[in-house]
Amino acid sequence: MNKRILKNIDWSILVCVLILVLIGLVALYSATIDSGLDEFKKQCMWICISIPILILILFVDYNIIARISPYLYGLSIILLIAVLFTGAINGAKSWFNIGFFAFQPAETAKIFVIILVSSVIVNIQKRSRKEINKPLKLAMVLGIVLLPVLLIVMQPDYGTAIAYILSLVLILFVAGIDKKYIIVSLLLLVTLLPIMYFFILPDHAKSRIDVYLNPNLDPRGAGYNIIQSKIAIGAGKLFGMGWLKGTQTHLGFLYPKTTDFIFSMIGEELGFITCGLIVVVYVVLITKAINIAKNARDELGSYIAMGIVGVLLFHIIENIGMTIGLLPITGVPLPFISYGGTSLLTNFILIGLLLNISARSKKNLFTK
């Protein structure tokens, strides 16, 4: 059975992940060489932890994982509530400090929210696919996602919260949600955005939006990071200033260079060619993930795969977009490249689920 699983998985996804991880390690080595390589070493440790977990996820049928997802979801909610009572780090209560590393429950909760939502929708649609369009059943699905989103917004961590919402949108789209709900949602969004800006968003969030529209409003304060980011990327030109030779990176102008702005650091030292390669690899990865969703053996696999696409797609677009000034800064990591143990582990698990669904894309794989 294991041989059949290995034969059927989409190996090109692992190749994409390997390329991104290697680029990330090269970048992290340069970014941390002046500070003792601490984050580089921790990232290597998390890679070693994440690989066995990916393999474990690959060989356990995702339908079995779906059966225990309500319990894992419940545990995630408890952790998201508990983290609100911890001390703030950089203005957000998002991490549990455990010994020499920090754990971010909002990251791992993505996995269980995607699986539970997908499982619930499948159960709703047992009688008919149109069942998802009944208001009460749709409200139940929305509630599963909106509860953790609300808790994450309270941290506050708006970027991660949006990743949950985009994931839900893609799952519902594939599940066949009525277009009227999409139209109404868009109208509500357009209506609520000004209200949120003037009456709901805290001052620091408003400041990020203002600076996004015009970084020169506060070049030494809220606009500093994005200005330095664009300087770094522009300085790299086509081939970069050279590995370990980035001035913005090593003179301390680019911050945080190992997480939010690692793409800027890569642009400065390795140039447009490497940045372009990263984008191409991401496009291939997302395209392969969508194909897995299309060819899944059942609707559960299809929905889980599209939920994963939503999470990865948001992080990729938002992180790269904010570093070049096209999107507001939200502090989301670049998948497989940015430093961050919980984020890296979560992404490896998501890839494990994609490979799991890919390996079981042929009907009756486990019944022969």
Between CA 233 and CA 239 the distance in angstroms is 11
- DSSP strand E in 181-296: where? none
The conformation of residue 33, written as its DSSP 8-state character, comes to G
Structure tokens at 223: 């606009």
**Residue percentage of the chain with pLDDT more than 90:** 68
Identify the residue whose tokens are 């939503």. 310
CB atoms within 10 A of CB 277: 15
Between CA 161 and CA 284 the distance in angstroms is 25
The conformation of residue 146, written as its DSSP 8-state character, comes to H
Above 50 in pLDDT, residue 265? yes
Please report, for the chain, the start and end positions of each structural domain, with discontinuous segments joined by +. Answer: 2-359
Confidence category of residue 362, pLDDT binned at 50, 70, 90: low
Least confident range from 28-42, 89-103, 105-119, 165-179: namely: 89-103
Between the two ends of the chain, the Cα-to-Cα distance in Å is: 9
Above 60 in pLDDT, residue 68? yes
Report which residue type is found at 337.
I
pLDDT score recorded for residue 43:
96
**Residue percentage of the chain with pLDDT more than 70:** 98
Between CA 171 and CA 363 the distance in angstroms is 22
Residue by residue, DSSP assigns 39-98 as HHHHHHHHHHHHHHHHHHHHHS-HHHHHHHHHHHHHHHHHHHHHGGGSPPBTTB---EEE
Q: Quote the Cα angle for 173-176-178, to 5°.
A: 90
Confidence category of residue 316, pLDDT binned at 50, 70, 90: very high
Least confident range from 113-117, 266-270, 362-366: namely: 362-366
pTM: predicted TM-score of the whole model, two decimal places: 0.93
With CA atoms as reference, report the closest residue to 88 among 42, 154, 35, 43: 154
pLDDT score recorded for residue 221:
79
Between CA 118 and CA 123 the distance in angstroms is 9
Identify the residue whose tokens are 């301390």. 252
pLDDT digits (tens, 9 = 90+) for 289-298: 999 999 999 9
Between CA 100 and CA 207 the distance in angstroms is 33
Above 70 in pLDDT, residue 368? no
Above 90 in pLDDT, residue 286? yes
Above 50 in pLDDT, residue 54? yes
pLDDT digits (tens, 9 = 90+) for 141-163: 999 999 999 999 999 888 999 99
pLDDT score recorded for residue 197:
77
Give the three-class secondary structure for 101. strand
Give the three-class secondary structure for 253. coil
Confidence category of residue 367, pLDDT binned at 50, 70, 90: very low
Above 70 in pLDDT, residue 74? yes
Structure tokens at 159: 């970027």
pLDDT score recorded for residue 1:
53
pLDDT score recorded for residue 161:
93
pLDDT digits (tens, 9 = 90+) for 190-242: 888 788 777 777 777 777 788 788 888 778 877 888 999 999 999 999 999 99
